[in-house]
Amino acid sequence: MFSWAEGACASLGKELCLSGTKLSSTPLYSLHKALGAHFAPFAGFDMALRFPDGVLAEHRAVRAQAGLFDVSHMGQAELVAAPNVMEAIFPMALSSLKAGAMRYGLLLADDGGIVDDVMIVRLGEEKFRIIVNASRRAEDYALITARLGDEGTLNPLPDLALLALQGPLAVSRLAPLFSGLEAMPFMTARQFEWQQVPVLVSRSGYTGEDGFELSLPADHAESLARLLLDGAGIVPAGLAARDSLRLEAGLCLYGEDMDCTIGAARAGLLWTIPKARREQGGFAGFDGFKQRVAEGETNYRRVGLMLEGARPARAGWKIHLPDGEGEAIGWISSACVAPTSPHPLAMGYVRREACQPDAMFFLKQGERGLPAKLHPLPFRPHNYYRG
Amino acid sequence: MAEKLYSSQHEWIEISGQTARIGISHYAQDQLGDIVFVELPEIGRKVAAGGEAAIVESVKAASEVYAPLAGEVIAVNQAIADDPALVNRDAEGEGWFMEISLANAELPQNLMKADAYQAFIAQQDS
pLDDT digits (tens, 9 = 90+) for A236-258: 999 999 999 999 999 999 999 99
Q: Select from A84, A68, A83, A23 the least CA-distant residue to A163.
A: A68
Report in angstroms the alpha-carbon separations of A367 from A45, A127, A364: 36, 54, 7
H helix or E strand, kind and range, residue A368: strand A368-375
Q: What angle do CA A94, A279, A89 make, to 5 degrees?
A: 35
How many angstroms separate the CA of residue B9 from the nearest CA in chain A?
A: 6
Indicate which of B9, B29, B59 best probes the interface with A, i.e. most A CBs within 10 Å of its own CB: B59
pTM above 0.90, yes or no: yes
Are the beta carbons of B27 and B7 closer than 8 angstroms?
no
Q: Which residues contact B66 (CB under 8 A, 6 or more apart)?
A: A1, B7, B9, B11, B50, B51, B52, B53
Above 60 in pLDDT, residue B42?
A: yes
pLDDT of residue B1: 57
Considering chain A, what is the average pLDDT of its residues?
94
Q: Nearest chain B Cα to A56, which residue?
A: B34
Tell me the CB-side half-sphere exposure of residue B88, using CA atoms within 13 A. Answer: 20
Report in angstroms the alpha-carbon separations of A373 from A108, A313, A379: 32, 12, 12
CB contact under 8 A, A312 and B10: no
Above 80 in pLDDT, residue A14?
A: no
Q: What is the rounded CA–CA span in Å between residue B107 and residue A155?
A: 66
Q: Select from A326, A329, A322, A331 the least CA-distant residue to A365.
A: A331
Type of residue numbered B80: I
Q: Cβ contacts (< 8 Å) between B35 and chain A: which residues?
A: none
Would you tell me how many other CB atoms lie within 10 Å of the CB of residue A325? 8
Mean pLDDT to the nearest integer, A175-192? 98
Q: What confidence category does residue A310 fall into, taking pLDDT thresholds of 50, 70 and 90?
A: very high
CB contact under 8 A, B63 and A310: no
Residue A304 CA to its chain's centroid (Å): 16
Are the beta carbons of A273 and A106 closer than 8 angstroms?
yes
Q: Which residues contact A196 (CB under 8 A, 6 or more apart)?
A: none
- Residues pairing with A127 in the sheet: A80, A124
Above 50 in pLDDT, residue A5?
A: no
pLDDT of residue A10: 37
How many residues in chain B?
A: 126
How many angstroms separate the CA of residue A310 from the nearest CA in chain B?
A: 6
pLDDT of residue A15: 38
Residue-wise pLDDT tens digits, A31-50: 999 999 999 999 999 999 99
Mean pLDDT to the nearest integer, B104-125? 89
pLDDT of residue A387: 82
Report in angstroms the alpha-carbon separations of A151 from A84, A92, A277, B11: 10, 18, 21, 62
Residue-wise pLDDT tens digits, A99-128: 999 999 999 999 999 999 999 999 999 999
Tell me the CB-side half-sphere exposure of residue A312, using CA atoms within 13 A. Answer: 29
pLDDT of residue A16: 43
Q: Cβ contacts (< 8 Å) between B36 and chain A: which residues?
A: 56, 310-312, 337, 344
* CB of B68 less than 8 A from some CB of A: no
Residue-wise pLDDT tens digits, B65-75: 999 999 999 99
Q: What is the ipTM of this complex?
A: 0.93
Above 60 in pLDDT, residue B33?
A: yes
Q: Which residues contact A199 (CB under 8 A, 6 or more apart)?
A: A178, A191, A192, A193, A214, A215, A216, A224
Strand-pair category, A211-217 with A318-320: unpaired
CB contact under 8 A, B60 and A2: no
Mean pLDDT to the nearest integer, B12-25? 96
CB contact under 8 A, A337 and B34: yes
Are the beta carbons of A58 and A67 closer than 8 angstroms?
yes
Backbone φ and ψ of A89, nearest 5°: -95, -40
pLDDT of residue A8: 41
Q: Which residues of B43-73 are buried (b: 16+ CB within 10 A; e: fewer)?
A: eebebebbeebbbbbbbbbbbbbbbbbbbbb
Q: What angle do CA A312, A317, A319 make, to 5 degrees?
A: 100
Residue-wise pLDDT tens digits, A264-308: 999 999 999 999 999 999 999 999 999 999 999 999 999 999 999
